[in-house]
């Protein structure tokens, strides 16, 4: 198992996160349950913030990419840690604003921002919109004019860096739906276009090459491409960007096929990026841009685990043994989406030797509803508490009510104390928006 400061096995042989016994958490709150370790989240936010400040001074900001895990409490933590956030929808923006997050530290992304989302962003006076289409630039300009404001924007550009990660989480290949390509000239053309808009202030560029990436060289190459592009734009259009947002994408540990990075090793990504920005700026005689990074997964991913209760166990002789849990793709759709790998642990017998090769199945009516395939586990029994590790990112945020299963609640653990940050759904919630036309009503 991937032991670390706040995830360990206690003297009772139980898994413990942030000082809380996971078996007790399962008894108290029920399962399935998402558990988040506040100390880990804060430590990661601080590592990025402090490293950027140390290497680059006041001329930068960390944005937490909140699509990884969005709820009011996480925005409170980000605000307390004095970092910014990015949002990718009106719903995330609303949640952040309801949590009292300062609008000027919010960046908005999305390849197809809807008219009303642009309106909401402008009404809230958010810091910056990262524009990703011509029609969106037009819309921002019109809406800004209506409100008598000048909206700051960045343009999302595609540096054409193919990072080594799952094809579905690569975002800077030539056929990506995201960004304007540097290579084919569209990034330059859209820059010229945005500069003609009177109610828009183009501040610079954004790029995000993908997710779950470990190689520093992919990130460094993206910096080089962006700075090279910046130099060309300055020469051709006389426009020198003042901001560069390099996105996120730093990988996390899911299974022992992944590296397990320490906070200091995450700091090295920031150091490498900053070094390259400085080097490129010097070589190309450019002013140092205000620098932003947007880690999401690496802030919350390893901070979270999901607790389940083991139910049916089915052995297909000579083929497979399925351990079914009370959750599944409705709380973690990542295996179904990307065949993502996870590490399950028996939380109530965390010390026991693994003796069996099993697959963890969810309870949805889908054969593809799996959480892990061919993983080692001690002999599990109905009623055991199964923990799946590293589920803090893109699990709750991707959860759904398929089969009318209830999305599990989230608890936040700090110094052994746990409390809800997202309370349990009820069956009532499931039918809250259901309407029965008069003619179908049962009298
Ligand atoms: C998803 C995303 C991020 C965060 O990616 P992680 O892999 O979670 O760090 C940052 N910026 C943008 C634009 C994104 O879409």
Please tell me the predicted confidence (pLDDT) of residue 370: 98
Kindly give the distance from the C-alpha atom of residue 352 to the centroid of ligand 1, in angstroms, as a whole number.
37
Residue minimizing CA distance to atom 15 of ligand 1: 208
User: What atom in ligand 1 is closest to the CA of residue 251?
Assistant: 7
Domain ranges of the chain: 7-31+304-391+393-423, 38-298
Query: Residue 63 Cα, ligand 1 centroid: separation in angstroms?
Result: 10
Going from the Cα of 249 to the center of ligand 1, the distance in angstroms, rounded, reads: 6
Closest-CA residue, ligand 1 atom 11, reads 247
Question: Residue 211: CB within 6 Å of ligand 1?
Answer: yes
The per-residue pLDDT for range 195-251, each reduced to its tens digit, is 999 999 999 999 999 999 999 999 999 999 999 999 999 999 999 999 999 999 999
Q: What is the dihedral of CA 158, 161, 165, 168, to 10 degrees?
A: 30
From the list 70, 104, 62, the residue with the least C-alpha distance to 87 is: 70
Q: Hey, whose CA ends up nearest to atom 3 of ligand 1?
A: 248
Whole-number percent of the chain with pLDDT over 70? 97
Q: What are the helix (H) ranges across 100-203?
A: 115-123, 134-147, 186-195
Residue 397 alpha carbon to ligand 1 centre in Å = 13
**What's the 348 CA to ligand 1 centre distance in angstroms?**
34
Tens of pLDDT, residues 13-35: 999 999 999 999 999 999 999 99
For residue range 384-437, list pLDDT tens digits in order.
Answer: 999 999 999 999 999 999 999 999 999 999 999 999 999 999 999 999 999 999
| Whether the predicted pLDDT of 171 surpasses 80 | no
- What is the topology classification, in CATH, of domain 7-31+304-391+393-423? Lyase, Ornithine Decarboxylase; Chain A, domain 1 (2.40.37)
The predicted pLDDT at position 186 comes to 96
User: What pTM value is reported for the model?
Assistant: 0.96
Question: Confidence band (pLDDT; 50, 70, 90) for 176?
Answer: confident
pLDDT computed for residue 6 by the predictor: 81
Question: Is the CB–ligand 1 distance for residue 344 below 6 Å?
Answer: no
- The residue whose two tokens read 């593809």 is 368
Selection from 137, 246, 146, 245 nearest residue 201 by Cα: 137
Structure tokens at 23: 């078996």
Please tell me the distance from the alpha carbon of residue 131 to that of residue 268, in angstroms, as a whole number: 29
Q: Is 65 in the pocket of ligand 1 (CB under 6 A)?
A: yes
Token pair for residue 285?
């005689």
Q: Is the pLDDT of residue 172 over 70?
A: no
The pLDDT-based confidence of 162 (bands split at 50, 70, 90) is confident
Average pLDDT, the chain: 96
- The single residue listed with the structure tokens 């089915």 is 314
Query: Which residue in the list 22, 128, 226, 365 is annotated as catalytic?
Result: 365
Alpha-helical runs (H) found in 207-261: 216-237
Contacts of 431 (CB under 8 A, 6+ apart): none
Query: Which residue lies with its CA nearest to atom 7 of ligand 1?
Result: 249
Asked whether residue 157 carries a pLDDT value surpassing 80, the answer given is yes
Residue whose entry in the numeric block shows the structure tokens 């017998």: 349
127 CB under 6 A from ligand 1? no
The answer, yes or no, to whether residue 1 has pLDDT greater than 60, is: no
Reply yes or no on whether the pLDDT at 3 is more than 60. Answer: no
Q: How many helices (H) and strands (E) does the chain have?
A: 12, 21
What residue's CA is closest to ligand 1, atom 12?
247
pLDDT at 112 over 70: yes
Q: Ligand 1: does its nearest atom lie under 6 Å from the Cβ of 295?
A: yes
Tell me the two tokens of residue 290. Answer: 């205000």
- CB of 44 within 6 A of ligand 1: the answer is no
Check pocket membership of 95 for ligand 1, CB cut-off 6 A.
no
CA 158 to chain centre: 20
Q: Which helix (H) or strand (E) holds 374?
A: strand 370-377
pLDDT higher than threshold 80 for residue 371: yes
The pLDDT tens digits of the residues spanning 328-364 come to 999 999 999 999 999 999 999 999 999 999 999 999 9
Residue 56 has pLDDT above 80, yes or no: yes
Q: Across the strands, what pairs with 61?
A: 292
Q: Which atom of ligand 1 is nearest to the CA of 213?
A: 7
| Mean pLDDT within 150-157 | 98
Nearest to 126 by CA among 150, 144, 108: 108
Residue 10 and residue 188: Cα distance in Å, rounded?
Answer: 57
Concatenated DSSP letters for 410-424? EEEEETTEEEEEEPP
210 lines ligand 1 (CB under 6 A): no
Report residue 114 CA to chain centroid gap: 21
Structure tokens that stand for 329 in this block = 């793709």
Distance of CA 360 to the CA centre of its chain: 24
Cis omega (within 30 of 0) for bond into 32 = yes
pLDDT at 166: 61
- Whether ligand 1 lies within 6 angstroms of the CB of 247 is answered as yes
What architecture does CATH give domain 38-298? Alpha-Beta Barrel (3.20)
128 is catalytic: no
Cα of 70 vs centre of ligand 1, distance in Å, is 13
**What is the atom index within ligand 1 of the atom nearest the CA of 297?**
8
Residue 297 Cβ < 6 Å to ligand 1: yes
């Amino acid at each position: 198992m991937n032991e670390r400061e706040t995830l360990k096995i206690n003297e009772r042989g139980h898994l413990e996160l942030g000082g809380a016994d996971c078996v007790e958490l399962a008894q108290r709150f029920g399962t399935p349950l998402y558990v988040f370790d506040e100390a880990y989240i804060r430590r990661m936010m601080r590592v990025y913030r402090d490293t950027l400040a140390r290497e680059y001074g006041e001329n930068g900001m960390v944005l937490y990419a909140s699509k990884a895990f969005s709820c009011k409490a996480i925005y409170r933590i980000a605000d307390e840690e004095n970092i910014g956030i990015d949002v990718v929808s009106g719903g995330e923006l609303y949640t952040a604003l309801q949590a009292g997050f300062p609008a000027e530290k919010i960046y908005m992304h999305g390849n197809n921002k809807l008219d009303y989302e642009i309106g909401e962003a402008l009404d809230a006076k958010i810091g910056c919109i990262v524009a990703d289409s011509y029609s969106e630039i037009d819309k921002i300009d019109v809406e800004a004019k209506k409100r008598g404001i000048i909206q700051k924007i960045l343009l999302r550009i595609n540096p054409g860096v193919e990072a080594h990660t799952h094809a579905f989480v690569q975002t800077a290949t030539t056929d990506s739906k995201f960004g304007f390509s540097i290579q084919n000239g569209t990034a330059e053309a859209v820059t010229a276009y945005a500069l003609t808009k009177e109610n828009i202030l183009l501040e610079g560029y954004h790029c995000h090459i993908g997710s779950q990436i470990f190689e520093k060289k992919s990130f460094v190459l993206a910096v080089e491409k962006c700075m090279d592009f910046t130099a060309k734009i300055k020469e051709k259009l006389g426009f020198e960007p003042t901001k560069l947002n390099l996105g996120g994408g730093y990988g996390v540990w899911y299974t022992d096929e992944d590296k397990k990075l320490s906070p200091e090793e995450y700091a090295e990504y920031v150091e490498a990026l900053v070094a390259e920005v400085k080097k490129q700026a010097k070589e190309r005689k450019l002013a140092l841009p205000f620098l932003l990074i947007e880690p999401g997964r690496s802030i919350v991913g390893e901070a979270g685990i999901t607790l389940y209760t083991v139910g049916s166990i089915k052995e297909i002789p000579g083929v497979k043994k399925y351990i079914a849990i009370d959750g599944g793709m409705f709380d973690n759709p990542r295996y179904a989406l990307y065949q993502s790998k996870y590490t399950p642990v028996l939380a109530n017998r965390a010390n026991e030797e693994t003796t069996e090769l099993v697959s963890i199945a969810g309870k949805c009516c889908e054969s593809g509803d799996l959480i892990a395939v061919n993983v080692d586990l001690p002999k599990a029994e109905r009623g055991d508490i199964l923990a799946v590790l590293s589920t803090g990112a893109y699990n709750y945020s991707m959860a759904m009510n398929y089969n009318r299963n209830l999305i599990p609640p989230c608890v936040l653990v700090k110094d052994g104390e746990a409390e809800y940050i997202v309370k349990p759904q009820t069956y009532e919630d499931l039918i809250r928006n259901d309407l029965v036309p008069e003619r179908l009503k049962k009298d």
